[in-house]
Structure 1
Amino acid sequence: MAAVLMRDMLGQTLRELRVSSDLTLRDVSSSARVSLGYLSEIERGHKEASSELLNAICAALDVPLADVLRDVAERADAGTRITPLPLRTVRAA
């Protein structure tokens, strides 16, 4: 099972929120005072946002930071459930 990266899920959540709000990268980057390129990298999971920047992005999206973090936590829980391995049978000698 591949490792779950929080920055991937966070970026996906932020992008979904931005798109559902009909906002462009330029709209959010301007409001959050972050470069468009850096915001794009955050959304793609290539960069991790500081807590201050994450708060500014959430404010630009008009979404509480707690809601975003809750969504990411729920995605992480769903993506990291442990799948039991099948039991091997031991042959008698």
Structure 2
Amino acid sequence: MTLLRTQLGDTLRGHRLRQRRTLRDVSGAARVSLGYLSEVERGQKEASSELLASICDALDVELADLLAQVSQELRTADEARRPVRPLVPAATPAPEPALALVGVDGPVTTRRRGAVALAA
């Protein structure tokens, strides 16, 4: 399972790199230390909602759009890890052989109205 903080960091880094901006530039605009922003991008720190909003403002990305993108990427990653289910249902195992009732004088074979009668 992919951690939320890891996916958030990857997505934030992707936005920053597509804009050809440095950590220093974005950290200054977001008013967060360069080291902390780096840890957020690497998924080592959980960013508060206030910090995420500040980083999004610096990147000119709507917070709701960032969260929607992260949600979709998490779903895609989780689906990729799920085992593939066969299209053909698995064969049902053969039923267990019926157990024979054995009385004192040998196997009991007398049945009445669906009941088994045991010899005494």
Normalising by the smaller structure, the TM-score range is 0.7 to 0.9
Q: Between Structure 1 and Structure 2, which shows a larger proportion of strand residues?
A: 2
The unaligned stretches of length 5 or more in structure 1 are none
Alignment root-mean-square deviation, CA: 1.9
Identify the residue that residue 24 of structure 2 maps to in structure 1: 26
| TM, length-normalised to structure 1 | 0.86
Larger relative contact order (CA 8 Å, sep ≥ 6): 1
* Structure 2 residue 65 is matched with structure 1 residue 67: yes
Deviation at 1:83, TM superposition (A): 2.2
- In 1, Cα distance between the equivalents of 2:91 and 2:9? 39
Identity of aligned residues (%): 53
Q: For this pair of structures, how many residues does the alignment match?
A: 91
- In 1, Cα distance between the equivalents of 2:92 and 2:43? 42
Higher deviation after alignment, 82-91 or 21-30: 82-91
| TM, length-normalised to structure 2 | 0.68
Name which one, 1 or 2, has greater alpha-carbon Rg.
2
The unaligned stretches of length 5 or more in structure 2 are 97-120
